[in-house]
Chain A
Amino acid sequence: MLPENAIEVKNITKKFRVYHDKGTTLKEKVLFRSRRMYEERVVLDDVSFSVRKGEAIGLIGNNGCGKSTTLKLLTRIMYPDSGSIEITGRVSSLIELGAGFHPDMTGRENIYTNASIFGLTKKEIDKRVSDIIAFSELEKYIDSPVRTYSSGMYMRLAFAVAINVDADVLLIDEILAVGDANFQAKCFNKLREIKANGTTIVIVSHSLGQIEQICERSLWIKDGKIAKEGTPRDVHPMYLGYMGELAQEALAETKSNDGNEAKEEKEAEDSRDKTNSESQIGNQSIIIKNVMTYDTNQQQKAVFRTGETVCLKIDYEVLKASDEVCVGIGIFRSDGVHCYGTNTRADKMPNLSMKHSGIILVELENELLPGEYLVDVAIESAYGVYADYKREICRFITMTEFEDIGVSRICHKWHGECFNNPV
């Protein structure tokens, strides 16, 4: 092991047995040997990496890629089937908070139990106990039984213990979701402080933003192998791109399923009285046949990044010509929030004349924040008279590396002394 490294992982492979029908009782083990069929699933396949002392790395990847297993191997909860893991110094893990808490014991007693599970001696705990209590902000309640705590208080106490164990190597799995926003900020600052003191940190998280803030390096694990390794700035966009592809595939699948359903529905409808169809809105003099999303290169696409242009292509059929037409669109987030809506009249355009079937292209500067969005399209054949209105006729997904919150990005600039940019 190189002296500058805190963690060295060499060629580790981990397989899990996935039992079709797992028996753990003696009867099942003895009698149904043949029935205990299992598949071997390779979770980690010949993975090697090392972490320098004082470095912080983030493990990213989609669900089931093996990143949590890697962390479990580092903590020695599990052991690799082959390969070796070497770690120098005391390892502490923020994976399970509040291990060994006993509800009937006081907060203070539980601090001792919990800290001892991290391998601290009584003396070491005595030294830290006031820090722990201060960090948890539970001074008033520290001598009441833990069962009287709210779940937030419980987690605060647990986190306070875990983070005050002075470890040389700290392993963290998705933990910065503890308590309210203030407490989270506090945890985050504490983590920075710990890092500044030279602790080596390995984080598993789905929050790329958190990793960017703390880690110098990201390891993207894909299907049990390291797909990419480098600075978060380099790795994360590639990862996001891959996730986008995955989402697009999933979307295509649901779309084809939807298509089948629609077909069935249509057949069912056809068998009923055709004129009695309730789902139709409008007089059907002009029909919206299809709406799809494209990028600026005319490529059909369903996943866009914030800031990218979304082109809506509306395919329509004219059954009865009209020259008082108005076309409108509405964009809704999947939870029903109406994000935006406009129409040709609102855009101060004159009435349109539609005589033949054709297409309309709407270019949208997509400033929407990550989420799934549904598009409504409507055509009026005359003022206030719907020719057709199609709800949720098309959907797209937005992904981003921005961390803004809300519905949409709003262009902004910061001014002030502190920005070297006086007001």
Chain B
Amino acid sequence: MKLIKELYAYREMIFSLVKRDLKGRYKGSVLGFLWTFINPLLQLLVYTFVFSTVMRMGIEDYYLFLFVALVPWIFFSTSVSGGASCIWAQQDMVKKIYFPREVLPIAFVTSQFVNMLLSFLVIFAVLIFSGRTLNPLALLCLPVIMLVEYLLALGVAMISSAATVYIRDLEYILGIVTMAWQFLSPVMYSVDQVPEEIKSIFYMNPMTPVIIAYRDVLYEGKVPELATLLHAVGVGVGLLIIGTLLFGKLKKHFAEEM
């Protein structure tokens, strides 16, 4: 409770770090902020080309099937692997001044989140353009799903960023882990394609219900099943609590470990 109050007092710091990150990211490049949109668009073009002409997958509009899951996945994986170094990278600040250390992972994940939201503008544009029907009722679930994913990503980023201060290798290990994680999540395929025997293992993956929910809403145009939603919420909140507790324990020695 005390932590929430303190973080609220430091809200301006979170905002300005997010703003600094978003504004600073493309500073100096000619197209500047436009890159936020060009990047996912180009990615989409590549996927469309590969999966509709070179490698046919037997799933209708596969590029959309993939894209609506990939954008949320990229948000999650950058939060985890990129977020790992977000405290280490700010050593100067951490060693010299006090602020609630949670601010750093929160700001990092939030700025990735804003990035994802901007990419969603591209998704919506493509969805409308492709002529797929959008279900308004299902779309109402979207903010909930996003929020849940945000909590989930934040929880894992808290763990990865705090642990990286103590074990520097994690930053690199996590790069590989998230890649493997991607293939083990139903991003490039549907859960239905997973053999029945190992399906239960797939559901232990916290990202599985989140990805399914995104795809239900955006690709299938249907309201996700309540079970899927509850599963996702439970996992998101659970991981956030674990992450916060662990972070609280590890943060006391950050300054000495740097």
Residue of chain A at shortest CB distance from B90: A100
User: Would you list 17 pairs from A and B whose C-beta atoms are within 8 A, ordered by A residue?
Assistant: A26-B173, A72-B255, A75-B98, A77-B98, A78-B253, A95-B96, A96-B92, A99-B96, A100-B20, A104-B28, A112-B12, A116-B12, A116-B13, A116-B16, A117-B99, A119-B10, A122-B15
Q: Which 4 A-B pairs have the closest CB atoms?
A: A96-B96, A116-B12, A116-B13, A26-B169
Give the distance in Å from the alpha carbon of A26 to the alpha carbon of B163 in the complex.
Answer: 11
Asked if A102 is at the interface (CB within 8 A of a chain B CB), the reply is yes
Question: Which of B27, B99, B173 has the most A CB atoms < 10 Å from its CB?
Answer: B99
- B interface majority secondary structure: helix
1/0 per position for B89-119, CB-CB distance to A under 8 A?
A: 0001111111100000000000000000000
A122 cross-chain contacts in B, Cβ below 8 A = 12, 15
**Those of A1-46 within 8 Å (CB) of chain B:** 16-17, 24-27, 29
Query: Separation in Å of the B246 CB from the closest CB of chain A?
Result: 16
Query: Separation in Å of the A83 CB from the closest CB of chain B?
Result: 14
Given A77-B97, A96-B92, A117-B13: 5 more A-B contacts, CB < 8 Å:
A25-B169, A78-B252, A93-B97, A96-B96, A116-B10
A79 cross-chain contacts in B, Cβ below 8 A = 252-253
Residue of chain A at shortest CB distance from B168: A24
Give the distance in Å from the alpha carbon of A116 to the alpha carbon of B107 in the complex.
Answer: 13
Asked if B136 is at the interface (CB within 8 A of a chain A CB), the reply is no
1/0 per position for B215-258, CB-CB distance to A under 8 A?
A: 00000000000000000000000000000000000001101110
Out of B9, B23, B28, B93, which one reaches A100, CB within 8 Å? B93
1/0 per position for A112-127, CB-CB distance to B under 8 A?
A: 1101111111100100
1/0 per position for B1-24, CB-CB distance to A under 8 A?
A: 000000001111101110110011
- Contacting pair B166 A104 (CB below 8 A): no
A115 cross-chain contacts in B, Cβ below 8 A = 12
- Contacting pair A99 B93 (CB below 8 A): yes
Residue of chain B at shortest CB distance from A123: B12
Asked if B167 is at the interface (CB within 8 A of a chain A CB), the reply is yes
Asked if A345 is at the interface (CB within 8 A of a chain B CB), the reply is no
- Contacting pair A26 B167 (CB below 8 A): yes
A120 cross-chain contacts in B, Cβ below 8 A = 12
Given A95-B96, A99-B92, answer yes or no on A121-B11 (Cβ-Cβ < 8 Å).
Answer: yes
Q: Which residues of A contact B (CB under 8 A)?
A: 16-17, 24-27, 29, 72, 75-79, 91, 93, 95-96, 99-100, 102, 104-105, 112-113, 115-122, 125
Question: Which of A77, A79, A118 has the most B CB atoms < 10 Å from its CB?
Answer: A77
- Contacting pair A25 B93 (CB below 8 A): no
A121 cross-chain contacts in B, Cβ below 8 A = 9, 11-12
- Contacting pair A27 B169 (CB below 8 A): yes
- Contacting pair B13 A105 (CB below 8 A): no
- Contacting pair B24 A104 (CB below 8 A): yes
Q: Which residues of B contact A (CB under 8 A)?
A: 9-13, 15-17, 19-20, 23-24, 27-28, 92-99, 166-170, 173, 252-253, 255-257
- Contacting pair A75 B16 (CB below 8 A): no
Out of B15, B92, B169, B170, which one reaches A116, CB within 8 Å? B15
- Contacting pair B169 A99 (CB below 8 A): no
- Contacting pair B93 A113 (CB below 8 A): no
Give the distance in Å from the alpha carbon of A371 to the alpha carbon of B92 in the complex.
Answer: 34
B97 cross-chain contacts in A, Cβ below 8 A = 75, 77, 93, 95-96, 99, 117-118
Give the distance in Å from the alpha carbon of A76 to the alpha carbon of B28 in the complex.
Answer: 37
A93 cross-chain contacts in B, Cβ below 8 A = 97-98
Give the distance in Å from the alpha carbon of A115 to the alpha carbon of B15 in the complex.
Answer: 12
Residue of chain A at shortest CB distance from B251: A79
Query: Separation in Å of the B35 CB from the closest CB of chain A?
Result: 16
B13 cross-chain contacts in A, Cβ below 8 A = 116-117, 119
Give the distance in Å from the alpha carbon of A95 to the alpha carbon of B168 in the complex.
Answer: 27
Query: Separation in Å of the A75 CB from the closest CB of chain B?
Result: 5
B257 cross-chain contacts in A, Cβ below 8 A = 24
- Contacting pair B256 A16 (CB below 8 A): yes
Give the distance in Å from the alpha carbon of A34 to the alpha carbon of B92 in the complex.
Answer: 31
Query: Separation in Å of the A157 CB from the closest CB of chain B?
Result: 16
Give the distance in Å from the alpha carbon of A25 to the alpha carbon of B20 in the complex.
Answer: 31
Residue of chain A at shortest CB distance from B252: A79
- Contacting pair B17 A100 (CB below 8 A): yes
Residue of chain B at shortest CB distance from A112: B16
Give the distance in Å from the alpha carbon of A120 to the alpha carbon of B14 in the complex.
Answer: 11
Give the distance in Å from the alpha carbon of A105 to the alpha carbon of B167 in the complex.
Answer: 33
A125 cross-chain contacts in B, Cβ below 8 A = 12
- Contacting pair A29 B167 (CB below 8 A): yes
Give the distance in Å from the alpha carbon of A91 to the alpha carbon of B100 in the complex.
Answer: 13
Query: Separation in Å of the B104 CB from the closest CB of chain A?
Result: 11
Residue of chain B at shortest CB distance from A30: B167
Query: Separation in Å of the A41 CB from the closest CB of chain B?
Result: 12
Give the distance in Å from the alpha carbon of A122 to the alpha carbon of B252 in the complex.
Answer: 28
Give the distance in Å from the alpha carbon of A100 to the alpha carbon of B96 in the complex.
Answer: 11
Give the distance in Å from the alpha carbon of A374 to the alpha carbon of B119 in the complex.
Answer: 72
Question: Which of B15, B96, B255 has the most A CB atoms < 10 Å from its CB?
Answer: B96
Give the distance in Å from the alpha carbon of A209 to the alpha carbon of B168 in the complex.
Answer: 44
Give the distance in Å from the alpha carbon of A272 to the alpha carbon of B92 in the complex.
Answer: 57
Give the distance in Å from the alpha carbon of A27 to the alpha carbon of B19 in the complex.
Answer: 37
Query: Separation in Å of the B29 CB from the closest CB of chain A?
Result: 12
Give the distance in Å from the alpha carbon of A118 to the alpha carbon of B173 in the complex.
Answer: 34
Out of A112, A117, A119, which one reaches B93, CB within 8 Å? A117
B96 cross-chain contacts in A, Cβ below 8 A = 77, 95-96, 99
- Contacting pair B27 A104 (CB below 8 A): yes
- Contacting pair A24 B166 (CB below 8 A): yes
B9 cross-chain contacts in A, Cβ below 8 A = 119, 121
- Contacting pair A24 B255 (CB below 8 A): no
Give the distance in Å from the alpha carbon of A125 to the alpha carbon of B16 in the complex.
Answer: 12
Given A99-B96, A100-B93, A102-B24, answer yes or no on A113-B17 (Cβ-Cβ < 8 Å).
Answer: yes
